Amino acid sequence: MKLHSLAFLTLTFPVFAASPPAADREAILAMAGTHTVHFHFQEHTPVAEDYQLAPKAYDEEATEVIEIVEDTPTRIALQHLLVVKGKDDAPMVIKHWAQIWTWEDTRLIDYCGEDQIHDWAIVELTPEQAAGTWTQLVTQVDDTPRYEGYGKWIHSRGESSWKSNATRRPLPRREYTTRDDYDYLIVTNRHTLTHDGWVHYQDNRKIVDRGDAPAQVLCFETGINTYTRTESPLTEVAKSWWQQHGDFWDGVREFWSEAQDAAPASFSYTTSKDGKSLSKVLDRLQEENASAETVAAELSPFVIAK
């Protein structure tokens, strides 16, 4: 497949003071805690000729503990930890996605991969475009990037919401092993706080982009992921797991962050190098509780120099 260019939506905002508003930081931090999460995705509008909508919605529910793993005045990282039933129904922690928020960031990444190539273009914003905004970088379970967007938090009439520009991203985990009829998503995200948690809305367009043909929208899909605060004994299970493994994953997150920062025009990586699987290398390094220096040495071969 060949990806055609996707222009970032240009947003114009007045210049704000260097420090982020306290209400913005409070809204981001308010997403932490233990939640019952309901994931709901529903295709609803076919665009391409003869496309048949998925016959039913995707619905899943889980307990998710969200830890604040980094908190500085201009950068906040939230790590999501799923707690599921493991062997003999014992609770098991799965490191899920993370969201990394940066104030007035001028350097973003935009997915531009082809098939199994993991490639992100570097997008530069002007200081005027970035003024008053937060970028949200969402990472995958191995802390590699999934997507990044930017926008402003709005606090009005009791509502606190953040809405992104349109961002391009790879197929979601729920579909990339079962579908090959589209190539990527273009998504607008909104995070809204509620009285008992928060909601993540996703306005999705599924795109076919192959060969020299113009890119085409296959269909529209809505995602509504509802996070409802709860009290659960599983909280301590997740916190104990993170206490054991958090330093290791801090090193992994820092490695990928530095690799992206060092990329001049695009950031690329592979999931297999010299017969070694990235996921298996990370599993081994986690079991060894490897240092940040060891993590950097072992993951560097997976980064593709361009």
Query: Which domains, and CATH codes, for the chain?
Result: 22-233 (2.40.128)
CA 235 to chain centre: 22
The predicted model gives 30-45 an average pLDDT of 97
* Confidence at residue 243, expressed as pLDDT on a 0 to 100 scale: 96
* Confidence at residue 15, expressed as pLDDT on a 0 to 100 scale: 44
**Residue 248 pLDDT level (bands cut at 50, 70, 90):** very high
Parallel, antiparallel, or unpaired: how do β-strands 184-194 and 167-169 relate?
A: antiparallel
* Cβ-proximal residues to 252 (8 Å cutoff; 6+ apart), any chain: 142, 143, 282, 285, 295, 299
Closest to 12 in 3D by CA, of 155, 128, 113: 128
The predicted model gives 120-131 an average pLDDT of 96
* Confidence at residue 19, expressed as pLDDT on a 0 to 100 scale: 80
278-288 vs 234-262: helix crossing angle, rounded to 10 = 120
Q: Indicate the DSSP class of residue 152.
A: -
* Confidence at residue 233, expressed as pLDDT on a 0 to 100 scale: 92
Say what the pTM is: 0.91
* Confidence at residue 3, expressed as pLDDT on a 0 to 100 scale: 53
* Confidence at residue 11, expressed as pLDDT on a 0 to 100 scale: 45
Is the pLDDT score of 235 beyond 50? yes
